[in-house]
Amino acid sequence: MMLQALRSKDTLSGLLFIASGLVGAVLASNLPIGDKIHMQAGYMPLVLSITLTGLGILVLARSLFDKAATAVAWRARPLLFVVASALVFGLTIERTGLLLSIFLTVLTAAAALPEWRRVEALALAAGLSLFSALLFVMLLRLPIPVLP
């Protein structure tokens, strides 16, 4: 029974959330925190770390009482393509501009799926490219080149 609970996706997710929250709290402990009115650099990382740890405790507790699906083995294809998509973005943002960089990033990440859904991937890539340009360049006025 206990070994089956340790193989649950929720148990592993809860443990990952708790570990991430605790690491974040330790890293934020060296920063000045301030208070709710005068927040300093460590306030939000600490709040987010505490929230993530609490969420992890809730997910872990729920997994011990519910029957959940067992975790499956790691698959290399999704991991490689998601990492590759981050690399594509980093290597293309300055050379090709925001629109093409995000378009290529989304298509690279979409290749992580076991089956290629061309229409959905192209629509998502186009939509996210336009939304990102609108948000970051037009609304937030960040100095990011939109086109090469």
In this prediction the pTM is: 0.62
How do residues 75-91 score in pLDDT, each as one tens digit? 788 889 999 999 999 99
What whole-number percentage of the chain has pLDDT above 70?
91
Better-scored residue on pLDDT, 2 or 113: 113
Question: Residue 105's pLDDT is what?
Answer: 96
Question: Residue 70's pLDDT is what?
Answer: 65
Cα torsion angle, 51, 52, 53, 54, sign = positive
Question: Residue 5's pLDDT is what?
Answer: 56
d(CA 124, CA 73): 28
Better-scored residue on pLDDT, 99 or 66: 99
Q: Decide if pLDDT at 2 tops 70.
A: no
Cα torsion angle, 108, 109, 114, 120, sign = negative
| Mean pLDDT, rounded, of the chain | 88
Instruction: Identify the band that residue 1 occupies on the pLDDT scale cut at 50, 70 and 90.
Output: very low
Phi, psi of 56 (to 5 degrees): -60, -40
